[in-house]
Homo-oligomer: A and B are copies of this chain.
Amino acid sequence: MTTAGREQTGAKGERTRRQIIEGALHALQTGGVAATTTRDIAAGAGVRLATLHYHFESKSALLLAVLEHLIDETTAALRAEAGDSADVAGCIRESLRAGWRFLTRTLDLQIVQYELTLYALRRDDAAGLAAYQYDAYVKVYQDLLQGVAARTGELDAAGCANVARFMLAGIDGLLLQELAKPNKARSSRAIEALIAATQAFAAGLSGTRRKPRERKRVTD
């Protein structure tokens, strides 16, 4: 019921396996998870239907493997896209801008990812994958923040995690809005607002000890 389905795995097998996942990704982007059949996937991968079932125990296992691949791919891209920053505020700004650049460049892929995440949530044996996905993305931002914070001492580990979750929530929500009603210009402005808000949130966390008054300034 997991990802496996093959026997021992030689070199060729692993290559075909990746080929199927790539083909699946292409088919999924075109028609969506619900409308994509195993035959579509096989065709997109240039492989016969039976081959697909030799490498994957079931369609479900294949789809989950695709999601796993997508998560790894995305985390790697997010890390690669983000450059270095001098301080936490800069890191927040660059990370969010870079992340948004990547996500808007791969909108079709993001739709598939949402579909697959929901698909995983519905399966008892794969609910953990959705949690893994969430953790992976939080960790990307958390690592970036911590790399800077360790130098400047602005935030501790827990603070970085909280800020990372905040960033992820914001960018996720804005991505949903962009998908539902595309408007690049408005989204860009919203991202800048999110950057400012996140910076304020982070400043509140790190400034607590020195300037506690700041924290409550605008709050109730």
Residues of A bordering B, CB below 8 Å:
31-35, 89-90, 93, 111, 114-115, 117-119, 121-122, 130-131, 133-135, 162, 165-166, 168-174, 176-177, 179-181, 186, 189-190, 193-201, 203-204, 217-220
Task: Say whether, besides A89-B218, A122-B32, A172-B173, A130 and B196 are in contact (CB < 8 Å).
Answer: no
Give chain B residues whose Cβ lies under 8 Å from the Cβ of A169: 169-170, 172-174, 176-177, 190, 194
- Count copies of this chain in the complex: 2
Q: Which residues of B contact A180 (CB under 8 A)?
A: 117, 121, 130-131, 133-134
List B contacts of A90 (CB < 8 A): 220
Query: Which residues does chain B contribute within 8 Å of A165, judged by CB atoms?
Result: 177, 186, 190
The interface residues of chain A, by DSSP majority, are classed as: helix
A134 cross-chain contacts in B, Cβ below 8 A: 177, 180-181
Q: Is A218's CB under 8 angstroms from B190's CB?
A: no
- Set of chain B residues within 8 Å of A131, measured between Cβ atoms: 180-181
Q: Please give, as numbers and ranges, the residues of chain B lying within 8 Å of A117 by CB-CB distance.
A: 180
With A and B bound together, what is the CA distance between A168 and B195 in angstroms?
16
Q: How far is the CA of A220 from the CA of B169 in the complex (A)?
A: 21
Q: List 30 A-B contacts (CB under 8 A).
A: A31-B122, A32-B118, A32-B122, A34-B34, A34-B119, A90-B220, A111-B118, A111-B121, A114-B118, A130-B179, A130-B180, A134-B180, A162-B189, A165-B177, A165-B186, A166-B190, A166-B194, A168-B173, A168-B177, A169-B173, A169-B174, A169-B194, A172-B176, A173-B173, A193-B201, A195-B219, A197-B201, A199-B218, A200-B200, A200-B217
